[in-house]
Structure 1
Amino acid sequence: MSAVVERVRAVQYAVARVSVAPLLVRAGIFVIVFAGFALAFPAEVLSGRPIFFLAVAALLPAFGPRRVWTTFTALVTVGGWLLATDGYGRPVALWRLLAVAALLYLGHTLCALAALLPYDARVDPELITRWLVRSAAVLLGSAVLGVLLLQATGTGGGAGYQSVTVLGLLVAVGMSVLLGWLLRRR
């Protein structure tokens, strides 16, 4: 019984020490991951029980940014995108593709920031602002470069975007495997 009381006191102490900035970053993770789900998945799937499961899935990286949940939600988002375009025949729009990619990147970078911030950290707001400005610069550069490459190669239309999506997913998974192997080797 005393172990349970000690555990409850430890949780109460931890909750009392939580500061606002790490909570806002984690709330941002939830909002961005859920928005990515909403853009990627077809509208027919976003009702009833599936929306509840997607909301729970969006909470997972907010609570465990150092764990596998960030990768899991990214794969769920890409799976929703592929389901919408292949399974439900939604035409691929460049704005939607860029928005889903931007939300994937923002979710990933906010999880990286949240992994560095303990719940009780006192954070200067300028740190979060600089982090987000740097992320916005990366997103802008990537969007401009992506559109220019699509125009230069003539890879337009739904099939071209679809192949680029699958290729990007394969590169991301390959890089994750390579980085995991390098970290274990060290």
Structure 2
Amino acid sequence: MNAVVERVRAARAAVGRISLAPLLVRGGIFVTVLAGFALAFPAEVLTGRPLLFLTVVALLPTVGPRRIWPTFAAVVMVGGWVLATDGYGRPVALWRLLALATLLYLGHTLCALAALLPYDAVVDPELITRWLLRAGAVVLGSAVLAVLLLQVAGLGGETGHQWVTVLGLLVAVGTAALLGWLLRRR
């Protein structure tokens, strides 16, 4: 019985030490993942029990950003997009695809930040601002590059060029090689 009382006291003390910045980052994870679900899934699915399930799935990476839950939420989000396009006949729109990719990346990067921040961390707001500005620059650069490559490729029509696909593959391999080199350099 004393062990239970001690655990309750420890939990109460831990909740009392929670600071605002890590709580806001985790709230951002929840909002980002839930917005991704709303964008990915068809409107017919977003009622009743499926909405409750998706809310719980959005809470999981918020509570456990170091575990498997961010990956699970991303897989559910992509599964919702596939369900909407294949199962419900929603056309593939560039804006929706870019917005979904943006929300996936923001959810991922916020989980990475939350994994670094203990609940009771005192954080300079500039750290979070720089993190979000860097994420915004990555999103903007990726969106511009994606739109440019899709325009060159003919947006998936019959006029596409195979060399654009090969160039995209070379850029991906080059990026992976650069990241590997940077990791070894440290």
Residue in 1 that maps onto 2:94? 94
Residue in 2 that maps onto 1:75? 75
Give the TM-score of the pair, scaled to structure 1: 0.84
* Cα distance between partner residues in 2 of 1:156 and 1:150: 7
Q: Which runs of 5+ in 2 are unaligned?
A: 166-171, 181-186
Corresponding residue SS for 1:8: helix
Corresponding residue SS for 2:55: helix
- The structural deviation recorded for 1:155 is 3.6
Residue in 1 that maps onto 2:38? 38
Residue in 1 that maps onto 2:184? none
Pairing of 1:11-160 with structure 2 (within 5 A): 11-156=11-156
Q: Which runs of 5+ in 1 are unaligned?
A: 165-170, 180-186
Give the TM-score of the pair, scaled to structure 2: 0.84
Corresponding residue SS for 1:60: helix
Aligned structure 1 segments of 4 or more residues deviating by more than 4 angstroms: none
Paired residue type of 1:85: T
* Cα distance between partner residues in 1 of 2:136 and 2:113: 15
* Cα distance between partner residues in 1 of 2:40 and 2:28: 18
- The structural deviation recorded for 1:156 is 2.9
Q: How many pairs align?
A: 162
- The structural deviation recorded for 1:113 is 0.1
- The structural deviation recorded for 1:130 is 0.4
Q: CA RMSD in A?
A: 1.8
Corresponding residue SS for 2:78: helix
Larger radius of gyration: 2
Residue in 1 that maps onto 2:183? none
Paired residue type of 1:133: L
* Cα distance between partner residues in 2 of 1:30 and 1:17: 21
Does 1:2 pair with 2:9? no
* Cα distance between partner residues in 2 of 1:87 and 1:148: 29
* Cα distance between partner residues in 2 of 1:118 and 1:54: 26
Residue in 2 that maps onto 1:184? none
* Cα distance between partner residues in 1 of 2:75 and 2:151: 27
- The structural deviation recorded for 1:85 is 0.3
Corresponding residue SS for 2:98: helix
